[in-house]
Chain A
């Protein structure tokens, strides 16, 4: 009996030690920056690697612990829409996604789910974007978004054109929803950033396209407000978006924007891209609807250069 106990305990301890070793990077002191009071409306970072920029930004926002409490279910929703590798910037940077998942788990999240309702064949998107591996390496779960059965009808009370749509159940069951778009040009919507990224948590996108795309994007943002918006502008697709054709469409900007206000986040990203926020119709509409604030002068912004 004693011998058996010893073996069982020994195995358990060994397993735990292995786990610690595997995730040791998230316990190491230098990667975690002690959080500030977090009174900023928006934090913008420039000049670092995607993961390092997120470390700095989230610390300025008050630390991930402000949003993610022990035992919570977290959904991280990057843009994984296209069967493209990271350097084409058609999808969110996998390093950033990985870092966010690590932060959430370290804050004690029960589980961190990642998905997108992709445009290209979903398995190829998940794997070629590098996001599937990044999420698994970080200890999160990458879940499918390609089956209509996962989507349930929800009402949009404040919607002008969009009154009802079907939303993925992972979002409906989540405690925390972190929206992680990539900043890109977009043939139809001018830019795709945080509000546009939410088209990946609903089922019938065609309805939005048929019924005034800009209004529908704003309508949905009036209903679903992410806990946090993290905009990846490390590599930015400046033309031929959202899918892109070649590497000549992409520029390296090395920037990141974090905000609880989805309209402010989109407005700041539009500026980075070189456009006025009001040039993007859904940002203007959303601001007018009072969903958020696109007047960046009126916001308390932290600007960090690495």
Chain B
């Protein structure tokens, strides 16, 4: 029975881990919606706009029942650390874990900072610390480019053997994101290489919060001191370093519910039992201590977040060409994001939409949303454009930063408006035909009208433009494009494309 719990944890954990990992690599997995529905922070955020997103309530109830099993069953960053420390065990000198004291100042401080940051209206702390989004950044930013490159080289090589597999195409690649994600991955390796779940019990705000909740858990792991022989086997496999053999105590606050200890105890001294014997005295001391800590750090948090907010970078472009550069006043936010404000208040930059977008039009931002919006997705039309009939990003967003759209709604949802810069246009500058923009426009908001001689030049109609960026992507003018999409800070309703009936007759005889 005791070992069974560990296998259950490994099975469910791997299911979540594999589903999320493949999805962040860009593969379409049908059960992804279930896997993200249970993610704590995304669920809380989505609940703010969609009342059915109650995955976090389930997690809280589960924690009240058996403790922080979320950290070992559901959280991909937690499972990643288990995998790293499992591999590391083969290389490191010290093969076992030992009890350590918690770093309460850091733990409660960071959690306080997150709360203060949220109360002051900034999502930045969550953007940096939400473990699910942290994991998404690592896979999407670091492993996905590698995966795509490997796949495309393989497909190229197989084609020479006349075997055809799907190339993906690395579009809108961001070196900055690659470096950022590498740093995050190194941080996780450093934390978990020797110390197992030190990150989860020191940095992670979800870990800290669920730890506090787990004090009220019905079932807890308890050590029967009468049976325990102090052999230390349990402590040596405890990734949370929370089993104190000397005092025969389990610091259940920090227990991530991996159940390794239950499976190794030869005396069955460790058991998951209903917690009848609540001893409030020693814990109350910790509580007081935590409370004081919490208040101390609140002040630091306030200062920190206000500095961060004031660092919001301004969009600025430099002009040093004889042609007119594009000056976008507002970044174009993905369809379903309602408005710039709604979007930047709910997105944790988990990168799931970026990974899943079939046209790869979404790119992680560097300065587009300012520092507080680091790596949030924006519509980048330099290498791709948004497919007219696709709603993948809006359907897949786990935080409600993008709200679900139907295909019909998407077709008249105006995320931005087309702007034509005639003096950059090839028809104007070289007086030759082009029309690449109008060719790609799905609504004929960009269309060609007679110009000089047989030449035709683009004309735009903002009322029916939806801001998909096909024209901007297709425009071959260089160095500056002649047509671009100006973002709508609040998304609007576009008019339906016009349907004018054909005037010409269809021939019934051969005209030659």
Which A residues form the contact surface with B (CB < 8 A)? 44, 46, 83, 111, 119-121, 123-124, 141, 143-144, 146-147, 149-150, 169, 186-190, 205-207, 209-215, 236, 238-240, 242-243, 245-246, 248-249, 251-253, 255, 267-268, 271-272, 274, 279, 281, 296, 301, 303
Contact = CB atoms under 8 A, between A and B. Distances in A.
Contacts of A245: 442-444, 497-499
Interface core residue of A144, A186, A271 (most chain B CB under 10 Å): A144
B454 interface: yes
Contacts of B508: 46
Interface in B339-361: 358-359
B507 A303 contact: no
A214 B504 contact: no
Contacts of A188: 433-436, 438-439, 448, 456
Nearest to B156: A149
Contacts of A243: 439-442
A213 B434 contact: yes
A141 B164 contact: yes
A144 B510 contact: no
B510 A46 contact: yes
B439 A44 contact: no
A303 B390 CA distance: 43
B322 to A, nearest CB: 16
Interface residues of B, number: 51
B170 to A, nearest CB: 10
Given A119-B440, A187-B448, A189-B435, 17 more contacts: A44-B512, A119-B474, A124-B387, A147-B152, A149-B153, A188-B435, A189-B433, A209-B434, A209-B435, A210-B478, A211-B432, A213-B435, A242-B439, A245-B499, A271-B511, A272-B510, A296-B512
Interface core residue of B153, B164, B441 (most chain A CB under 10 Å): B164
The 3 closest A-B pairs by CB, nearest first: A188-B435, A206-B476, A187-B438
B156 A147 contact: yes
Interface core residue of A141, A150, A187 (most chain B CB under 10 Å): A187
Contacts of A141: 164
A143 B506 CA distance: 35
Contacts of B94: none
B507 to A, nearest CB: 6
Nearest to B508: A46
Contacts of A124: 358, 387, 389-390
Given A120-B387, A187-B448, A188-B448, A248 B512 contact: no
Contacts of B169: 146-147
A246 B499 contact: yes
A306 to B, nearest CB: 13
Nearest to A47: B508
Given A150-B156, A296-B512, A206 B436 contact: yes
Contact of B155 (A144, A189, A205, A271): A144
B387 A210 contact: no
Given A44-B510, A121-B359, A271-B511, A187 B476 contact: no
